[in-house]
Amino acid sequence: MVTLNMEILAMEEQIRNKAIVEVLYKALRRGDTESVASLLASDLEWWFHGPPHCEHMMRVLTGMSIYLEFKFEPRSITAIDERVIVEGWEGDQAYWVHVWSLKDGLITQFREYFNTWLTVQDLRNGSESKRTSVWEVRQKQEMNATHTLWQSEPSEHLTRSFPGLVLAI
């Protein structure tokens, strides 16, 4: 019963975190900088992986550019514990993944990845982890009891391939 209650609480947190990130993208589309700022921790930690000229979200969140210069239209939003993974693409030119970490309803960390095919791995050893996973494990790899938690799925209409990257978050 205790395990079930913990899983329910974890699912509620995931639903709330996903909703917060959805609100963020809606506020960005409206140009509502006050709402965007209210969702971000004042000490937001930022990571960027990709070509330097593709740091679009940082420019938008810091006011260096407007949202219209590069539109982030999420195609997929997945919540895993305190993280929300968002992927999308801008035509056939830019494929991106955002990983937002939340704590107490605020976004505390942001990781931005451009033009990559991502796989998120659970690197915890099953015997060491006392926490029950609430997401579906899609693939089990024998070495180190590693599980694929989430893998990006580029649109079928895209004809070019993206480099592979394994991301441990």
**In a 10 Å sphere around its CB, with 0-12 CB exposed, 13-18 middle and 19+ buried, how is residue 21 labelled?**
buried
- The pLDDT assigned to 26 comes to 92
Helices (H), 31-111: 33-39, 56-61
Alpha carbon distance 158, 148 (integer Å): 23
Q: Residues 133, 79: contact at Cβ < 8 Å?
A: no
What is the count of structural domains for the chain?
1
- The pLDDT assigned to 24 comes to 94
Full residue range of the structural domain in which residue 68 is found: 2-167
Q: Residue 21: which CATH number?
A: 3.10.450.50
Output DSSP code: residue 112. E
Q: Residues 148, 141: contact at Cβ < 8 Å?
A: yes
Q: Which residues of the chain have pLDDT under 70?
A: 1-2, 4, 66-69, 90-94, 115-169
- The pLDDT assigned to 83 comes to 94
Alpha carbon distance 29, 95 (integer Å): 18
Tokens of 13: 């947190």
Helices (H), 43-114: 56-61
